[in-house]
Amino acid sequence: MLPGLAVSTVLRSRGYGVRLWLAGRPVEDRLVAEWSGEVCRIRSSGLPTGSAMGRLLALPGYVRTAFACRRAMRGSVPDALLAMGGYASVGPVLAARMLRRPVVLHEGNAIPGRAVQALARLADTIALAFEEAGAHLRHPRVVLTGFPLRHDIEAAAAARRAGTRRKPVNEAWSPDVTTVLVLGGSQGASSLNDRVSSGIAAFTRSGRAVQVIHLAGKTDVEAVRQTYAAANVPHDVRPFMEDIWNAYAASDLVVARSGGSTCAEIRAFGLPSILIPLPCAARDHQHANARMMARSGRVEILPEDALENDSLPDCLGRILDGTAADAEPGRECVGAAEAVADLIEKMVAR
């Protein structure tokens, strides 16, 4: 959703009209609250897993969605379609192909999702956040663009890499104390929130001073606050942050899952990180993302079950003591929204 908005903003700045196609999920309403352009909401469901019979039974629903999208597009036929890879892409991509419109797919993970693999044959071009994803897609036109980030994040990341780190925007964040940013997920991730906060509290008992910015989701905010308070760890615990770039800019280390957007943001800021892949992620793509991230250095991969022991305090110590490999700033992420917009413009020009 967010990478699609980033590309849409670039296209609108170039004078194009942009229509957003949404899957009807509640979280989308918050994300597009400031979008002033056209929005089309469609009924979508996830691609079924399991038996061939289950997939076969799901086909009529996707066919109905595709024809509904085609009816919606006929009133204003698009010059091109950008699909960001989720299951909501299926209907619009099929509709665009029925109308003989060019399609650009974007894959944000190191292992492509089932929607991208299913739709790859219908795409004119596939844009990638991780080069490694191309090995899983047999397509003649695969382009490494990076992961589109909103302008605010790119600007803050550029300032960080240039050494012009700003004073923290929040008075609760001291510029003189090592700051750990924990991304527990806007929808909450109770096991991660509980184990990470406990691990950081244990780390500080050795005499190490850190402060924590922890985004815990709505459910776990109070429990996480109590854990830090009991250990006398300075903390700012919130459900989520709209201006997440300020938290990145103020931080020295990130502890997070390894979804595509999180990896892209960490790479853009060039921050060291401890990545805890979601064990149940489709096709185990978060482990693959984390492995690709580890190639840049100062990235520790920590399986979730390892949080039960003292692994997190040990990881924190290795990174903050500088004994992990040197970090490599992720400049390849900057300009991804513009790169994807360029691909779409080329489709339109042809």
User: How does pLDDT run across 162-173, given as a tens digit for each residue?
Assistant: 876 666 777 778
CB-CB contact of 276 with 306 (8 Å): no
Q: What pLDDT score was predicted for residue 58?
A: 57
Written as six digits, the tokens of 109 are 């993970």
Which pLDDT belongs to residue 167?
62
Residue ranges of the chain assigned to CATH 3.40.50.2000: 2-148+335-349, 152-332
CATH superfamily of 2-148+335-349: Glycogen Phosphorylase B; (3.40.50.2000)
Quick check: 131 and 144 in contact, CB under 8 A? yes
pLDDT at 128: 95
208: CB partners within 8 A, 6+ apart: 178, 316, 317, 320
Measured CA to CA, the distance from residue 172 to residue 247 in angstroms comes to: 12
Per-residue pLDDT at 95: 94
Options 1.10.10.10, 3.40.50.2000, 3.40.190.10, 3.40.50.620; which CATH number does 152-332 get?
Answer: 3.40.50.2000
- Taking every pair of Cα atoms in the chain, the longest distance, rounded to a whole number of angstroms, is 66
| The pLDDT of residue 316 | 94
Q: Which residues contact 290 (CB under 8 A, 6 or more apart)?
A: 258, 263, 275, 277, 299, 301
Measured CA to CA, the distance from residue 142 to residue 300 in angstroms comes to 29
pLDDT at 57: 53
Q: Euclidean distance between the first and final Cα of the chain, in Å?
A: 27
Residues of the chain predicted below pLDDT 70: 1, 26-27, 44-62, 164-167, 185-188, 323-333
